[in-house]
Chains A and B, each alone.
Chain A
Amino acid sequence: EAQVTQNPRYLITVTGKKLTVTCSQNMNHEYMSWYRQDPGLGLRQIYYSMNVEVTDKGDVPEGYKVSRKEKRNFPLILESPSPNQTSLYFCASSSPLVGSDTQYFGPGTRLTVL
C-alpha cells in the first residue's frame, strides 16, 4: 500500500529538549516536504527536498532542520523546541512523474512543547 508514515503521532516534550520526527514514504518519490498546521493560519511549508541531499527552506523554517540522506526518509529535527512550535505537523511526498503538485500526506504528528 502506497503511504507516507510519520512517527511519533503524538509527542509532548519540554522546552529545549531536542527531538526528531521521522517521515518515510514507499512510493519512490523525489519530492518531500514538511508542513505545520495551526488554527487560523492553515498549512505552511517548513522545508522541502527535491531529491537526496537537496533541501531548501519553505515559508517558516526558523527553529527547524531537515536532512535527506535516503530517498524514502525525510526527518524533521527540532534542536531546541520552544512553545511556539506546538503544532500539528505533516510530511508529504510527490513525484514529478504524476504531476509535482499531487502530494500525498502522512497522518500527522501532534507536538506539544511545554
Chain B
Amino acid sequence: QKEVEQDPGPLSVPEGAIVSLNCTYSNSAFQYFMWYRQYSRKGPELLMYTYSSGNKEDGRFTAQVDKSSKYISLFIRDSQPSDSATYLCAMSVDRGAGSYQLTFGKGTKLSVIP
C-alpha cells in the first residue's frame, strides 16, 4: 500500500458545484497536512495547511483532516472555472534536526465547466 493515495480523476463539475477532493494515507506518523494547487505549466502553490484533526476554512475552501481514519479532504464551494487545476495533497513527518519528509499524492485533475 502506497503511503499516500489520491484518485487522479479527472473530475469534471459544473460551475457553482461543491467539489470534494480526498486522500488517504497509511503512515500514522504524518503530522502536517497540506493541499497544493497546480495550474497547467506552473509550479504547485500552497492552498491550505493544517496539523490537527478537524476543519480549517479559508474563503471557499475547507480542509478536513481525520487522523483516526487517516483521511483528508478538500472542499471547494461555489466552484469557478478558475479553480480548474490539479490538486495535490501532501503530508509530512519530522525527521528531526530541522528536517522533514514531505510525501505528495499524485494529484487530482479538476475541470470546472462554465
Binding site for B on A (CB under 8 A): 4, 30, 40-45, 48, 50, 56, 90, 92, 96, 99-108
Contacts and interface: CB of A to CB of B under 8 A. Distances in A.
A105 B44 contact: yes
B71 interface: no
B100 A43 contact: no
Is the interface on chain B under 10, 10 to 19, 20 to 34, or 35 or more residues? 20 to 34
Interface stretch (B10-18, B58-66, B73-81, B104-112): B104-112
B64 to A, nearest CB: 18
Interface of B: 8, 32, 34, 41-46, 49, 88, 90, 92, 97-102, 104-107
A90 B90 CA distance: 15
B32 A90 contact: no
Nearest to A108: B43
Contacts of A107: 42-43
